[in-house]
Amino acid sequence: MTLFSDTSHLFVRSLKKLFRNPILLFFSLFQPIIFLLLFTQLFSKFADLPGFLQLTGATSYLAFAASGIVLQNGFSSAFQSGTAMVDDLKSGFLNKMLATPVSRPAILLGRIFSDVFRVIAQSSIILGLAFVLGASADTGIPGYLLMLVIIAFFGIAWSGISLALGLKTKNSEAVFGIAAFLTFPLLFMSTALVPPSFLPGWMGQVSQFNPISITVDGLRTIMLPGFNIGKVLTAFGVIGGIGIVTMGATLYLFRKVVS
């Protein structure tokens, strides 16, 4: 019961800290919303290209890109995990926690669960806005719930990168810079924003093994007509593999810090 109780208290503490600094929420939501409102309008003519419907199953570029944009929110929010960990290290909060009988795993779990809550809340806002603009999940409410589960697990796996960097470097700028350097090339070499046939040859080859493409394909099969459970299971498998690596690194570095 101590683990559960300590985790819940630290979860609430993380949320309170976040709500006291709403600018972080604003900026993590700002880019995906701009992409949803403006980027999809800028490239709306993609849907008029011959074969777009046959290639994507989407009747509009908004319907096609919504899955990629909501996933973008997932990893941009995950960047904040490492910076929050650095703040706890620099402020001395983590050292104070280690001087108490608090469960050590709860320190990390409270942070991770608060990140999951934030990703789900923000993703719900983006999906709701997409619905208002005319892009809705073909699978209905169960589909939306499944999408949120995928995005939440993706956020956990991706936050492991940020947390590990925060524990290793103890520098917020380094966390954000390295995480962005690793992530954004993957985004633009994926099918998050364009169909695979629209990519240059070498990018198309890379996108087949890109975890962002695989996860987006899992989301997109829920969003668009023609649900394919295989793509969803493949997305979970890839996310699970990433999570084992990233959270394993985080646990290793966290043990070094607390010891």
Is 28 contained in some domain? no
Q: What percentage of the chain has pLDDT greater than the value 70?
A: 97
Average pLDDT along the chain = 86
Mean pLDDT of 217-226: 93
Range scoring the smallest mean pLDDT among 17-21, 30-34, 129-133 = 17-21
- Per-residue confidence (pLDDT) for residue 227, from 0 to 100: 92
Q: Which two tokens stand for residue 8?
A: 């819940």
- Per-residue confidence (pLDDT) for residue 131, from 0 to 100: 93
**Domains identified in the chain, total number:** 1
Q: What is the pLDDT of residues 187-221, one digit of tens each?
A: 888 999 888 888 888 888 989 999 999 999 999 99
Is 11 contained in some domain? no
Enumerate residues 6+ apart whose C-beta is below 8 A from 78. Answer: 115, 119, 155, 158, 159, 161, 162, 179
- Higher pLDDT residue, 105 or 224? 224
Range scoring the smallest mean pLDDT among 41-45, 76-80, 126-130, 171-175 = 76-80
Helix (H, G, I), strand (E, B) or coil at 47: helix
DSSP letters for 160-224: HHHHHHHHHH--HHHHHHHHHHHHHHHHHTSSSSS-GGGS-HHHHHHHTT-HHHHHHHHHHHHHS
Q: Which two tokens stand for residue 162?
A: 């940020």
Q: How far is CA 4 from CA 8, 100, 128, 218, in A?
A: 6, 16, 32, 32
Is 68 contained in some domain? yes
On whether the CB atoms of residues 213 and 89 are closer than 8 A, the answer is no
Is 14 contained in some domain? no
Q: Which two tokens stand for residue 230?
A: 């295989």
| Distance between start and end Cα atoms, the chain | 23
Confidence of residue 109 (pLDDT cuts 50, 70, 90): confident
Q: What is the pLDDT of residues 20-46, one digit of tens each?
A: 776 766 767 777 888 888 888 888 888
Is 51 contained in some domain? no
Confidence of residue 224 (pLDDT cuts 50, 70, 90): very high
- Per-residue confidence (pLDDT) for residue 197, from 0 to 100: 84
Mean pLDDT of 220-247: 94
Is 143 contained in some domain? yes
Is 140 contained in some domain? yes
Range scoring the smallest mean pLDDT among 28-42, 111-125, 239-253 = 28-42
- Per-residue confidence (pLDDT) for residue 106, from 0 to 100: 86
Please give the residue range of the domain that contains residue 85: 59-258
